[in-house]
């Protein structure tokens, strides 16, 4: 079964906080607190696998890694690992919080969808001629968080469109190596099914009935694939 419409949540990593630390030698009591690492960001990447949205069917929340806190002796915290979500070509990413849209049109296309938070400054960066032993530090910034609607628009060469239970799926199975469910009742096909016939991509579209444009049956949203 092809998953072509899902909603997920993504959260970039928080920045690590800076630390307060000082040299312990008698000759030098200066600050040595390192800064926090940047939080990991969330990216999307275009791939050719049209079934790639299937991994979002049950898991809905995804997070990049938080940045590590700063350490003493001017050791900054490690940056958090970025998270890359692979999406099939033809996927439109709708940011529900902002109304922004991004479309995946190329294999390898990389797009930032949630930016990681900056790491906070350690007390070493607050030193001055008038403040040689600063105790100030910064917390790390919070990473961006968004609700995403992922909508796949297939670029099928041929689409089977028609009433429910008229043999569209049987035809797809006969022409290709697809093994889609076939049964003697309407709306057996609830999601688009794909098959390959020589160099052509065939799409079996769920059945349409009178009034589908008004939401009857399964509606008409699947027509975006043809």
As a whole number of angstroms, the distance between CA 10 and CA 103 comes to: 17
As a whole number of angstroms, the distance between CA 27 and CA 33 comes to: 18
Q: Which residue has the higher pLDDT, 217 or 123?
A: 123
C-alpha angle 180-50-40 in degrees, rounded to nearest 5: 135
As a whole number of angstroms, the distance between CA 135 and CA 133 comes to: 7
Q: Which residue has the higher pLDDT, 192 or 104?
A: 104
Q: Whole-model pTM?
A: 0.75
Task: Give me Rg for the CA atoms of the chain.
Answer: 26
Dig out the tokens for 94 from the structure: 């709708």
Query: DSSP states of 44-76 as a string?
Result: EEEES-TTGGGGGTT--EEEPPPPPPP-STT-P
DSSP 131: B
As a whole number of angstroms, the distance between CA 189 and CA 170 comes to: 11
Alpha helices for 38-187 (secondary structure H): 168-175
Average pLDDT over every residue of 206-210: 65
Judged against a pLDDT cut of 50, whether residue 67 lies above it is answered with yes
Could you give all domains of the chain from N- to C-terminal order, each with its CATH number?
5-152 (2.70.210.12), 158-225 (3.40.50.300)
> Chain-wide mean pLDDT for the chain?
85
Report the pLDDT value the prediction gives residue 215, as an integer from 0 to 100: 54
Report the pLDDT value the prediction gives residue 209, as an integer from 0 to 100: 60
């Amino acid at each position: 079964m092809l998953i072509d419409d899902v909603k997920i949540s993504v959260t970039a990593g928080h920045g690590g906080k800076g630390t307060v630390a000082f040299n312990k030698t008698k000759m030098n009591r200066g600050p040595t607190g390192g800064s926090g690492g940047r939080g990991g960001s969330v990216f999307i990447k275009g791939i050719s696998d049209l079934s790639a949205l299937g991994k979002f069917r049950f898991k809905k929340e995804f997070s990049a890694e938080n940045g590590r806190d700063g350490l003493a002796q001017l050791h900054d915290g490690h940056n958090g690992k970025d998270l890359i979500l692979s999406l099939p070509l033809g996927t439109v990413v709708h940011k529900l919080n902002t109304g922004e849209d991004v479309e995946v049109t190329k294999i390898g296309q990389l797009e930032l969808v949630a930016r990681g938070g900056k790491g906070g400054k350690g007390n070493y960066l607050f030193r001055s001629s008038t403040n040689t032993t600063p105790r100030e530090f910064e917390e790390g910034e919070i990473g961006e968080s968004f609700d995403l609607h992922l909508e796949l628009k297939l670029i099928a060469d041929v689409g089977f469109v028609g009433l429910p239970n008229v043999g569209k799926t049987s035809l797809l199975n006969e022409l290709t190596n697809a093994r889609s469910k076939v049964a003697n009742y309407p709306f057996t096909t609830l999601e688009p099914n794909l098959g390959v016939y020589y160099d052509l991509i065939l799409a079996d579209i769920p059945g349409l009935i009178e009034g589908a444009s008004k939401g009857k049956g399964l509606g008409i949203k699947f027509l975006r694939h043809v």
